[in-house]
Chain A
Amino acid sequence: MDQGLRELYQEVILDHSRHPRRFGALQEATHTGEGYNPLCGDRVKIYLALDAENRIQDIAFEGKGCAISQASASMMTDMLVGRTVEQAEQLMSGFLHLVKGEDTNGLAPEDREQLEVMGGISEFPMRVKCATLPWHTMKSALEGGETAKTE
């Protein structure tokens, strides 16, 4: 198989997309955000439950989309539990660099290791927005803002 495709559709990614972690609504959510990709019509909704110290106590997502966006949402929710809002934003910034094939020095080594499977996306510029949609949506949920869009 094409090397780029092999990296894009790694088993880890396919597993996340077939069996997304933390999929569903969150009754006790303190923040929610909706994301929409007008190019393909994909939608994602992120639920966040923050505690008094601004730490992400719980997080979940709902939505329909391609393997990349579903896997990205699944991995993101998995990684964000227990982090503070500030840490979440740092992780997001590192992730955005990673998927664009840029320097990821801002990421902690263990985070980089975990996110590395998404690195293959950088070779598919038309698909980067699929991977970033859940992250932008998470940010807009934290900011209580409008529907996040990636295009």
Chain B
Amino acid sequence: MTAQLKRVPVAAFDPLAARADFEILSRTVYGKPLVYLDSAASAQKPRQVLDAMREFASSDYANVHRGVHYLSAVATERYEVARENVRRFLNAGQADEIVFTHGGTEAINLVAHSYVAPRIQPGDEIVLSVMEHHSNIVPWHFLRERYGAVLRWIDVNDDGSLDVDRVDAAIGPKTKLVAIAHMSNVLGTITPLKDVVARAHAKGVPVLADGCQGVVHLSVDVQGLDADFYAFTGHKLYGPTGIGVLYGKRALLKSMRPFNGGGEMIQEVSRERVTYAPPPARFEAGTPPIIEAVGLAAAIDYLSGLDRKAVAAHEDDLLRYATDQVKELNWVRMIGEAKNKGAILSFETDDMHAHDVATILDREGVAVRAGHHCAQPLMERFGVASTTRASFALYNTREEVDVFVAALKKARAILG
């Protein structure tokens, strides 16, 4: 008999090792270890991101694209390397299809103002789903108020999933844009974005994807999706606040009028007229978030250095583990149980208001979100005023889920 060599399973992703990169996770809250389950609102930052920003600011910083001096050239290089980094991350074709904004909200507002608004006649339609975040609703309300656009809402199924046929049905001859989340910040639903794009394109309608949640949990390929616009924010992606990204197809970006006016976005300014720089500079008026761009690039490097499939499997495991336990509580009603969903768990509790639940959880060190999650049309759809939401990130663990569930039971004991 020959000794069989045992294959030792190699942990493709070790959440405990990753936790060590996030210093804040070792702090306590009210004397209890912090259990941070609010990453869908904003994720914590690994030291690699913080270090990159500090090192850049303390050794290579200057304004970009302006000075002829040495540091300006170095900073410009770093800023453009960050852009290239984002391009690779989204698998965009060209770096000039990547516009840096100050957040996801600004990226969507940019599309509304610069692409859609000039094309709107009264009665023209914007198609969007009821599970959009307010940042992908209010810019379209602006177009309704100012230009007479009509909002056409796509409903979701009771489990929170979205049928692509409903998207199809909502698109008509007057539709100017489909605006849809890649992943819902409340339900966790992952939308069939590629199919949505295909159906919209079959009718000649472009699609804007709100990727603020999607980009965190999914591997995004904007060319594969064929999305016309893809917007996301840095701070949910383990990066800094104050920076976001708009990916736009080059031809569309080139056809768009400027957004903010200021330095950097011009070709030439005289007393009589102004001409504009080509994209992406056209949409980056003023001094851009330079240090934040370096931080975002570091966050992308950090994620890219992990086995993202294994990270996704870990997050999925947390979601299932938490869902199974929460569903055992007969006083909890889950909201959002689509088959294809990311690591977000929203629920309502009998006779307990979400804010009371969140306050009690907080005293146990467990940070969750309670409220309408900037998605009031969705709250209305499900007939609730607010929900409690636990959202999981790569650094969460099963032990933390246990603490969360125990705290939930404690809330019930106090309030129920």
Show the binding face of A for B, using Cβ within 8 Å. Answer: 1-2, 4-5, 8-9, 14, 18, 39-43, 64-68, 124, 126-127, 130
Residue numbers in B under 8 Å from A67 (CB-CB): 352-353, 356, 415
B360 A5 Cβ-Cβ under 8 A: yes
B354 A40 Cβ-Cβ under 8 A: yes
B414 A1 Cβ-Cβ under 8 A: yes
Contact sample, A vs B, 14 pairs, CB 8 Å cutoff: A2-B363, A4-B363, A9-B356, A9-B360, A9-B415, A18-B351, A40-B355, A40-B385, A41-B376, A42-B385, A67-B353, A67-B415, A68-B356, A127-B355
Extra 7 A-B pairs, beta carbons < 8 Å, given A9-B356, A40-B385, A41-B386 = A1-B414, A2-B363, A8-B359, A40-B370, A66-B355, A67-B353, A68-B355
Closest to B352 in A: A67
Tally of contacts, chain A with chain B, CB under 8 A = 51
Given contacts A2-B30, A66-B353, A67-B353, contact A41 B379 (CB under 8 A): yes
Interface string of B356-384 (1 = CB under 8 A from A): 10011001000000111000100100000
Residue numbers in A under 8 Å from B353 (CB-CB): 65-67
Which of A1, A41, A68 makes the CB contact (< 8 A) with B371?
A41
A41 B356 Cβ-Cβ under 8 A: no
Q: Which of B372-416 touch A at CB < 8 Å? A: 372, 376, 379, 385-386, 414-415
A39 B371 Cβ-Cβ under 8 A: yes
Residue numbers in B under 8 Å from A41 (CB-CB): 371-372, 376, 379, 385-386
Min Cβ gap A7→B in Å is 11
A131 to B371, CA, bound (A): 16
Residue numbers in A under 8 Å from B415 (CB-CB): 9, 14, 67
Residue numbers in A under 8 Å from B370 (CB-CB): 40
Which of B359, B372, B379, B385 makes the CB contact (< 8 A) with A64?
B385
Most buried by B among A1, A14, A40, A66: A66
A9 to B356, CA, bound (A): 9
